Homo-oligomer: A and B are copies of this chain.
Amino acid sequence: MIVIDWGTSSFRAFRIATDGAVLDRRSAPRGIMHVEGGRFAETLREHIDDWLTAGESRVLLSGMIGSRQGWKEAPYVPCPAGAAELGAALVDVPFDGAQGNVQVKLVPGMNGTDASGVAEVMRGEETQIIGALAMIGSNGLACLPGTHSKWVRVEDGRIARFTSHMTGEAFSALRDHTILGRMMKDGAPNDAAFNAGVTRSAEPGGLLHHLFGVRTQTLFGKLAETDGASYLSGLLIGHELRAELTGAQGEVHLIGAPELVALYARALAACGAKTISHDADASVRGLIIIGEHARWQ
């Protein structure tokens, strides 16, 4: 089987043996934003043609490739759902392989609602969660930090519900397009400034007030211009964490890019939460597990 994590900015393909071992892997900066004119089939062929020629006939894709902006829209599967429900909801994509016998399937995203009934969506993260279930167990809480961070509750081995935070994207917009960024200078990430931002997030006044404080603290020399970005990052991540932590959530499983996972682990520790960090290859394991539930011909 070939499994592919095909997101907005990157394309990561893995050739998997029947025992689940990764035989080969390759990646390219060919996320869906970087594929011109809907040439997804051509892009796929270009990167895995030799594997198909060598006899592979099953290709499973997850991520934004299954979105409206991707190859074909795979409808969201509602919460609660696990590997079985996702495997039963795969969407076939027409594809002419070298031998004419290649099946290409898309893993659907998931949707749900938050505590107030407002819609939630994710696409790609469900596959990472399935891949991390062996570590999370039947019941637990996982956080996948990023542009749109996800907090996922696992119950009875399935994804029960989840919430999103626009933390990463808000950070970029505030740093690059407000007075805060104009007061910042490039500098190495500063742990103390990051921690100060996390601490600040617990104080009264709300996020919009705390944002103004980034400016005044720089103005009065309490925060170095080179540390402003670290402080802002800690402030925003702190607000995200405090909205999610209940005090009784047990350990938080962190899944994602190592640098970001390390940052969240530090912030969570500062908030008194225990964490377990996972690597980003959870999506590969998730694809393999979901692929085992698929109805291949």
Please report A residues at the B interface, Cβ cutoff 8 Å: 114-116, 118-121, 148, 163-167, 169-170, 172-174, 176-180, 200, 203-209, 211-213, 215-217, 219-220, 222, 236, 239-240, 242-243
Q: List residues of chain B with CB within 8 A of the CB of A215.
A: 166
Contact A166–B208 (Cβ < 8 Å): yes
Contact B116–A216 (Cβ < 8 Å): no
10 contacts between A and B (CB under 8 A): A115-B203, A116-B203, A120-B216, A148-B212, A165-B209, A165-B211, A169-B179, A170-B211, A205-B243, A208-B240
Contact partner of A217 (CB less than 8 A), chosen from B115, B119, B172, B239, is: B119
Instruction: State how many angstroms separate the Cβ of A183 from the closest Cβ of chain B.
Output: 12
Contact A211–B178 (Cβ < 8 Å): no
Q: What is the bound-complex CA distance between A242 and B207, given in angstroms?
A: 11
Q: Which 6 A-B pairs have CB atoms at the shortest separation, nearest pair first? A: A206-B243, A119-B216, A164-B212, A165-B208, A166-B211, A116-B203
**Most chain-B Cβ atoms within 10 A of its Cβ — which of A116, A166, A216?**
A166
- Copy number in this complex? 2
Q: What is the bound-complex CA distance between A126 and B264, given in angstroms?
A: 40
Q: What is the bound-complex CA distance between A220 and B212, given in angstroms?
A: 33
Contact B174–A114 (Cβ < 8 Å): no
Contact partner of A163 (CB less than 8 A), chosen from B118, B205, B243, is: B205
Contact B119–A208 (Cβ < 8 Å): no
Q: List residues of chain B with CB within 8 A of the CB of A213.
A: 114, 118-119
CB closest chain-B residue, reference A199: B116
CB closest chain-B residue, reference A179: B169
Q: What is the bound-complex CA distance between A215 and B119, given in angstroms?
A: 9
Q: What is the bound-complex CA distance between A126 and B167, given in angstroms?
A: 34
